[in-house]
Structure 1
Amino acid sequence: MPVLFSALLPPDDVVEAITAALAEALPEALGEPGDGRRWEPPERWHITLAYYGQDDLEKRGAWLAERLAGRAAVDVRLEKAATFPGVLWLTVAGTELTPLAHAAGADAEARPYTAHLTLARFPREEPGLGARWTERLSSFASRSWQATEVALMASEREPGGTRYRVARSFELDRA
């Protein structure tokens, strides 16, 4: 069974804006990882709504279709960086995503939902590294966009790493 999660995917021009901001503020993000630091490649950038773990794709897809039916599209904007222990991420501004995330199943998780886009992982023992990175990305803000679909993502192990693929998409109602 694949590992599944639901997510919003940023549009190509927003991905390009993030890449440009990283190239300017954190050129090491585009180089080789080192010392336990792992930069997420742009093709894996997403805003997680809910994580399901190993699950049946057909059953989860049917469940999610029912839960998302009639849900409105949401306005999204990414901005300044923040950290969890060992994780650098961009904050999500704009429409509150929590109701959509809860509809997608985030309310079943033990920790409160925090909408974010993960940029990198680093050793938890290096909190200063995260602080330096957040400072360098403090003025970042993407354009706003309307997220009109939710992706059911499958995480697949491959030689050389993990790949995410869209297993199914669910349209949200446009305003």
Structure 2
Amino acid sequence: MGVRLFSALVPSAEAVRSLREALDDVPEAGLRWTPPSQWHITLGFYGVDDPQARAGQLRTSLTGLPAREVRLTGTGTFPGVLWVGVDGNLADLATATEAKADERPFRPHLTVARNRDRLRPESLADTLAGYRGPSWTATEVVLCASEPGPRYTPIERFGLVEHVR
């Protein structure tokens, strides 16, 4: 049976805490906030797919890939969406997830709010323009089932290789 699936990185607790504090300064007018428990950085979207088959593919394609230093920084908008940017080399991880081809270039981001009242979130993005959160090491990719609304359920986690010092 098919389920809407995507793969993602989940921010660390420290990164979530820092971003929540920064968002306190953003006016709430007309925004529908994404709950912090649902924050993630999408690497690949698969549409309706077989979870077991997709998990097998990810297990193979992600094996041996290194963990990444990641940082939430800056902000931007898509139509009706306010997001926070991501620093970190994630392009090869996104490629390894073998997501459906998309005409748009991969732009890692974390959606923090959606526009409820057709307001333009661009002006709100200025409030977070200088945001630079703490870095963290992303040690796993999570395969998630997408549910109606901005909710997801983790299905399986795939470890990335941590560098031992």
Q: TM-score, normalised by structure 1?
A: 0.85
Letter in 1 for 2:140: E
How many equivalent residue pairs?
162
Structure 1: segments with no counterpart, 5+ residues: none
**Segments ≥4 residues shifted beyond 6 Å:** none
Structure with greater helix share of residues: 1
Identity %: 44
Following superposition, the deviation at residue 124 of structure 1 comes to 9.4
Note the 1:15-94 alignment, pairs <5 A. Answer: 15-23=16-24, 25-28=25-28, 34=30, 37-93=31-87
Distance in 2 (CA, whole Å) between partners of 1:63 and 1:15 is 29
Residue 123 of structure 2 corresponds to: 132
Distance 1:86 1:40 in 2: 13
SS in 1 for 2:77: strand
Instruction: Tell me if structure 1 keeps the 8 A contact 2:27–2:124.
Output: no
Residue by residue, what CA displacement relative to the aligned partner does 1:18-68 show, whole Å, maximum 9, x if unpaired? Answer: 111111x11528xxxx4xx32111111000000001111100000111111
User: 2:19 and 2:48 mapped to 1: Cα distance?
Assistant: 30
Gap change, CA 1:162 and 1:125, over 3 Å in 2: closer
* Post-superposition CA distance 1:82-135 (Å, at most 9, x none): 111221111111x32111101112472222110000111216954xx3222111
Q: Does 1:101 align with 2:94?
A: yes
Superposed CA RMSD: 1.9
Contact 2:9–2:141, Cα closer than 8 Å, also in 1: yes
Q: TM-score, normalised by structure 2?
A: 0.90
Equivalent residue for 2:158?
Answer: 170
Contact 1:106–1:113 (CA under 8 A) maintained in structure 2: no
Letter in 2 for 1:117: L
Assess, with a 3 A threshold, how the Cα gap between structure 1 residues 124 and 116 changes in structure 2: closer, same or farther.
farther
Query: Which structure carries more strand by proportion?
Result: 2
Indicate the residue corresponding to 1:119 in structure 2: 112
For the residue of structure 2 that corresponds to 1:43, the secondary structure is helix
